[in-house]
Chains A and B, each alone.
Chain A
Amino acid sequence: MSEVTPYTPREDDSLLAAEYVLRLLDPAEEARVAARLAREPALAAAVAAWTARLSGLDAEVIEATPRAAVKVDLERRLFGLPQRAPFWQRAGLWQAVSLASLAVAGFLAVQSLQLPEGPARAPLFVSEIAAEDQSLRLLAVYDSAAAELRVTRTAGDAAEGRVLQLWAIAGDAPPVSLGVLPSDATTAVILPDALRAGVADLVLAVSDEPPGGSPTGLPTGAVLAVGQVNAL
């Protein structure tokens, strides 16, 4: 390297930034620069400035349209198989809710509500929201008199640093958030007005979301468990 003209440190860093942007450095030098970037704003600014300067050459790139299959492939890699079915059917989980499990659910529901005896009680609905492999299972009981949906988690939990979010789906409409489930095993939510009349046809689902819940108003993470609501 004796041939290289000595530079003042400032100039040297600017040229080093240029070499970094151009990917001229060997992997070890590249790693050293990368490590410095995190703590040296001046060097990071030099990298950004060279990126902007050299971007003028982007105009010399001849555009080329990739084959349509490239996008299809990309979306499959990112989002899974493209299908037209509603997302909860796509998850292929709700079919796992067997009649037997519903019968158990019904029994548990009666137990957990400690229902008053008598003919005048309002209709009750129940749903077992379960993962196909039973790694996550929740029991939801809806009391139409109080419009209250009581959810009890009987198996599984949110992943570390994630939360579980409960959704209601009516027909083909987009999922409506019923909120993030607290870490407690049991919670109660009031069903939104618009969903009450059609409760018997609702599908409930639980998705994996970042802390605080989905930032978009729609499930962003994996749908972990799904269950159909049934009249008891």
Chain B
Amino acid sequence: MAAVIDASIDEAKLAEPAGSKRGRPRWLTAYLYILPALVIMLAVTYWPILFQVYMSFTDYGLRNLRFDAPGANFVGIENYINLITNQVAQIANFNFWGMLAFNLFWTFSNVIFHITIGILIAVLLNAKGLWFRGVYRAIFILPIVIPTLVVATVWKNMFDTDFGAINQALAGIGGIFGISPDNFHIRWIDQVDPPISWLPLPLSYFALLITNIWLGWPFMTIIATGALQSISKEYYEAASIDGASGRQQFFNITLPLLRPAMIPAAMYGMIVTFNLFNLIYMVSGGGPLRQTEILVTTAFRLVNENRLYGLAAAFGIYTMIILLVLTLLTNRITKATESYV
């Protein structure tokens, strides 16, 4: 009986956690706090999205832009159909499903590299008695703190065929082995033929991959380092007493105990990589032949270059739906694996 009363007191406390004046009801106070943010979001977030739904059913174009222009024509679901059947005459080589497949492949391939390299380097940095640990940590944080805009523009120039640093560095390394520098005029961005004949990926994909690996692994290393440091040393002591080798300890203690920290990080990394506009737009420009184009860069081109606002609106809705599905799926996977350890 006493426990029941205690519980009800606790509940009352929880329901009234912070202060309220006697006169004004608490829910009204809450709404007053939220109101300014809500008004702004209604104006600049929700209203545009609603308007986008309307636009997506019209042929909204340049001629409808002026404030006294006639309304756009209603075209039903034509925009949606045209996009998924690749009937976009204004863009050469438009391939919705191919682009979506590339976008997903781009995301997964990057995050796998980020996580693997990130964990390995974190383990290396965590080794007992390592010299210059602080120096390495300070260096490895740099890709995180530099704005991606700057990273993307710098790497774009580094991949330049004739004057870029990558080819020059490769020529320098090749020189040591007596290889002529003429072999290093690699056309990282424009080469159309896939470098691996059976893999339908252009060389620019690998250029983007290199750039994004440079950009992405330090984040995972930081997350993994935090998780590593919270693993009790007693686990390793007990395991070595039981005769477990270093490799066994890594796979049976370190990896399972890193999981709870790495899975949300992977999820975050996937959403970021899926939408990595600056890198793709600036380094490869989606080329060659739109082969490295992703959803967000196409969404930008439809507005910025093609001025097909109605079609772009429909494309934006598709992008939002795909992201929603991706988020829900990754959330589910996260939830399902949470109880693993």
Chains A and B come from one and the same complex: no
Binding site for A on B (CB under 8 A): none
